[in-house]
Structure 1
Amino acid sequence: MSENSGSQTVRLVRSARQPLALTRLLKNLVRYKYFYMMLIPGLLYIAIFHYAPMFGLVIAFQDYQIFNGVWGSKFVGFDNFMYLFQAPQFITAMKNTFIISAYKIILGFPVPILLALLINEVRILIFKRSIQTILYLPHFLSWIVMSGLMFNFLSDQGPVNKLIKMMGEKAIYFFSDEVYFRSILVISDIWKEMGWNAIIYLAALTVVSQDLYEAAKMDGATRFQCMMKISLPSIMPIIMIMLLLRMGSVLNVGFEQVFNLYNPMLYGVGDIIDTYVYRIGVLENKFHISAAAGMFKSVIACIMVVTTYYFLEKVEDK
């Protein structure tokens, strides 16, 4: 058979398969029509609130004037991005964002994993459920409430400074000293979210076969060895997925947290991209600059997700 006749046969087979695939698709649509109808509200929500607003990204390339609108504003190309990268405040905010995010990932990401492993080892059911409930509660407190607690706890007359004074030392003004602010952000974020983030890992641990633990105990393994050799490897795929999702929001370090805790004296170490966007967009009405900063965040997030996925894929292959 010649090469031309062979390629012609392949095209005929493909053309014959297309109507079959279309027919199968239509049959599935009719058969599972109610399931597809249940998708409509979610798809509409995503389309209206996630994709439709993306049209507004065009103002990142305009000298946007609110009364002229999108169609009447002047197109300036990449001038807004050049303005950002030449603005000292934005450079400071970007540096702070990366530093705080790195602290939260390096110090905060392992904590829920460790917490889930420890809770999984608790055998007294009532005690286990009580610990879980206590650790979940801070997640449901807003950062407005949390900031009030933090201010009272670390104020001049708060319990921390009272203990410091009892030891003969001078009181520390935590919210006016740049040395302590990033530590406050990271520790408070870990404390607030560690219990809630541990839920996913606990759910993954529930599906681990108990036969593996019993076999390991018969071979003389301790509980710590079972945790490190069975529990941790069993949830490693979930850990990779959570790390991938976390890297996608690497520049989202918590606007509400920072906004409620910082003040102008702490801009040098606490000002982040989100608070910078708020000030320059909402307070100064420079919407085009804030749109450019937001688009920059999205591009970096996309790059981080792709890079992390590629890295995790290589690690998994090994």
Structure 2
Amino acid sequence: MHNTIEADQASKVIRPEMDYLKKHYFLYILLAPAVILTIIFKYGPMYGAIIAFKDFSPIKGIMGSDWVGLYNFEKFLSSPNFDVIFMNTLKLSFFGLILSFPIPILLALMLNQVRQTAVKKNIQLFLYAPNFISVVVVVGMLFIFLSPTGPINQIFILLTGEPVMFMSRAEYFRVIYILSDIWTGAGWASIIYVAALANVDPELHHAANLDGANLLQRIRHIDLPTIRPIMAIVFILAAGGIMSIGFEKAYLMQTAMNLPTSEIIPTYVYKIGLQSGDYAYSAAVGLFNSVFNVIMLVAVNFIVKKLNEGDGLY
């Protein structure tokens, strides 16, 4: 009798879910390609991470290669280059996050104050355009503009009498990398904030005006609370990928002279894995980087939820 009652209760819970699936089956069909592609290209390659724990040989294959456990990880952590590579990656990511995170928010707040639609669209076009420039082209522009005979150095020659070797000196690498990243990505990153601010009820600003609130007060008490949940999510995702720097730009900007600051984990993995052919070791370095990102994601999400009244990823 008791089992029958439990079965009836379970069927009552399942039946509405099945009815919902039948009613909205077409939405799940539309969702299916994205799920399948995610499984194939995101979860499928996780199988290859096994080689990080093996003495991988292409002839023996993944399963046939000898198991070495954590040897490749110990090799990386004890290597003379570990401290330099890890700190280069962490510094470049951390300073890039701190400096670039507020810029899209400021751009969105300023764009939100532009009332003429035509002017606003032209400004947005000007801000979004750099995002569509190829990384190769961006780096080429940097080498041209910052070369000893480039336009930037012409100013320094007039002021000091000699050019500055921007692309050859290690201390300038991070500054150039981060500033060029802000130029190419800040406008595009502001789109999500502009969209959120567009949903703010104009009556709130009208009422604040009647109460004597100035522009900064309206931004602080109306606009910023509106985009605060989005700010929290974007920050968490950015902090969770703090070590996932795009390898292409850093690799293209590298010179023999700036390696002390430009050698980061992604470029190291590329050189060890594809150029030197040590696939197991490079897989271990890449997996170490991914695990560190996951730890950062969980930690930052926990901290933001505590500080931001529950706004987080989960």
**1:29, distance to aligned residue in structure 2 (A):** 2.4
Of 110, 114, 117, which residue of structure 2 is paired with 1:122?
A: 114
**1:14, distance to aligned residue in structure 2 (A):** 4.1
Which residues in structure 2 correspond to 1:136-215 (within 5 Å)? 136-215=128-207
Residue of structure 2 equivalent to 1:315: 307
Residue of structure 1 equivalent to 2:276: 284
Letter of the structure 1 residue corresponding to residue 43 of structure 2 = Y
Whole-Å Cα distance in 1 between the matches of residues 5 and 143 of structure 2? 72
Whole-Å Cα distance in 2 between the matches of residues 13 and 275 of structure 1? 62
**1:175, distance to aligned residue in structure 2 (A):** 0.9
Of 36, 39, 42, which residue of structure 2 is paired with 1:50?
A: 42
Whole-Å Cα distance in 1 between the matches of residues 282 and 82 of structure 2? 11
Whole-Å Cα distance in 1 between the matches of residues 85 and 256 of structure 2? 13
Whole-Å Cα distance in 2 between the matches of residues 46 and 14 of structure 1? 37
Residue of structure 1 equivalent to 2:57: 65
Letter of the structure 1 residue corresponding to residue 48 of structure 2 = G
Whole-Å Cα distance in 2 between the matches of residues 192 and 255 of structure 1? 16
Q: Which is worse superposed, 54-63 or 119-128?
A: 119-128
Letter of the structure 2 residue corresponding to residue 17 of structure 1 = Q
Residue of structure 1 equivalent to 2:66: 74
The answer on whether the counterparts of 1:63 and 1:75 sit within 8 Å (CA) in structure 2 is: yes
Whole-Å Cα distance in 2 between the matches of residues 225 and 21 of structure 1? 49
Q: Which is worse superposed, 304-313 or 221-230?
A: 221-230
Whole-Å Cα distance in 2 between the matches of residues 182 and 88 of structure 1? 22
Q: Which has the larger Rg?
A: 1
**1:15, distance to aligned residue in structure 2 (A):** 3.6
Residue identity (%): 37
Letter of the structure 2 residue corresponding to residue 272 of structure 1 = I
Q: Which structure has greater helix proportion?
A: 1
Of 192, 201, 210, which residue of structure 2 is paired with 1:218?
A: 210
RMSD: 1.5
Cα shift readout 1:36-63 (whole Å, capped 9, x = no counterpart) = 1112111110111111111111101000
Letter of the structure 1 residue corresponding to residue 55 of structure 2 = D
Whole-Å Cα distance in 2 between the matches of residues 92 and 47 of structure 1? 35
Letter of the structure 2 residue corresponding to residue 275 of structure 1 = T
Give the TM-score taking structure 1 as reference length: 0.94
Cα shift readout 1:189-241 (whole Å, capped 9, x = no counterpart) = 01110000000000010011111100110011112221222111211111001
**1:170, distance to aligned residue in structure 2 (A):** 1.5
Whole-Å Cα distance in 2 between the matches of residues 183 and 168 of structure 1? 21
Residue of structure 2 equivalent to 1:22: 14
Q: How many residues align?
A: 310
Cα shift readout 1:110-169 (whole Å, capped 9, x = no counterpart) = 110111111111122222111110010000011100011100100011111001111133
Letter of the structure 1 residue corresponding to residue 285 of structure 2 = A
- Name structure 2 gaps, 5 residues minimum: none
Whole-Å Cα distance in 2 between the matches of residues 13 and 312 of structure 1? 44
Q: Which is worse superposed, 104-113 or 264-273?
A: 264-273
The answer on whether the counterparts of 1:60 and 1:291 sit within 8 Å (CA) in structure 2 is: yes
**1:263, distance to aligned residue in structure 2 (A):** 1.7
Whole-Å Cα distance in 2 between the matches of residues 91 and 168 of structure 1? 36
Of 220, 231, 255, which residue of structure 2 is paired with 1:263?
A: 255
Whole-Å Cα distance in 2 between the matches of residues 103 and 32 of structure 1? 46
Letter of the structure 2 residue corresponding to residue 63 of structure 1 = D
**1:290, distance to aligned residue in structure 2 (A):** 1.0
Of 82, 98, 101, which residue of structure 1 is paired with 2:93?
A: 101
Cα shift readout 1:265-293 (whole Å, capped 9, x = no counterpart) = 22210111100000000001011011111
